[in-house]
Amino acid sequence: MATSSDAGDLWVRRFHPAPQALVRLLCLPHAGGSASYFYPVSQRLAPRVETLAVQYPGRQDRRNEPCLETVQDLADQIVEVLGPWQDKPLALFGHSLGATVAFEVALRMEARGTRPAALIASGRRAPSAPRDERVHLRNDEGLLEEIRRLDGTQSQLLEDDEIRRMVLPSIRADYKAAETYRYEPGPPLSTPLYALTGDADPKATTDEVRTWADHTTGRFEMTVYPGGHFYLNAHAPAVTEEIAAWLVPAATAGR
């Protein structure tokens, strides 16, 4: 059974230990998100898949730490704490910003000789399909307007002044990381890659999401759900079952 270091305890949360699971899934949050967002995912996938969730600095119990403002810095830090969790196949799941971070983590894992069991990219256009977005440069009200537009689950919470003051710095830092990221062309992954998206996502068209296929020589599949950027909130049971259908047979085959 994996044991985590002090640094790993800061970054990686395991809500439902599942020692009998053949595969682990590391979940990376969206901009402004936290590890706790994936508690229901962990609950649904256990005990078939052991779910781990990443906690970025600058929020919740890490709110006194400085935020990281680039995808590369996040990926560099995350890959350093994954060692104890790689005694079993480890798949990566990221939503929005988290999908881009997961991609960069996968690149680093493959460079070190460890291929992820899968990369599951949700609600995010492919790295090679950038947009010129500058939400992170807006004032606080402009940033809040974007969050409301995307209908994130936290938009109502942000109407509270105290909560808003507490969380806006991490949201802004995450938006900066997402919007200033630029893909550096290089060899594609060999990791199987699955893309999930909502058919009305203003942040990623289906064509932009389909371009993820260019980033792997392995298996590629794309599933489109009804909904916008946070389509997975409405379709969580279906999404988690789809993830299990991908991961469990692959882990069994590789056992």
Catalytic residues: 96, 229
122-153: buried (b, 16+ CB within 10 Å) or exposed (e) per residue? Answer: bbbbbbebeeeeebbeeeeeebbebbeebebe
DSSP state of 90: E
Residues 204, 177 contacting (CB under 8 angstroms): no
Burial class (CB in 10 A: 0-12, 13-18, 19+), 188: middle
Separation between Cα atoms, residue 70 and residue 175, nearest integer Å: 9
DSSP, collapsed to helix, strand or coil, labels residue 153 as coil
**Strand 12-13 vs strand 24-28: parallel, antiparallel, or unpaired?**
unpaired
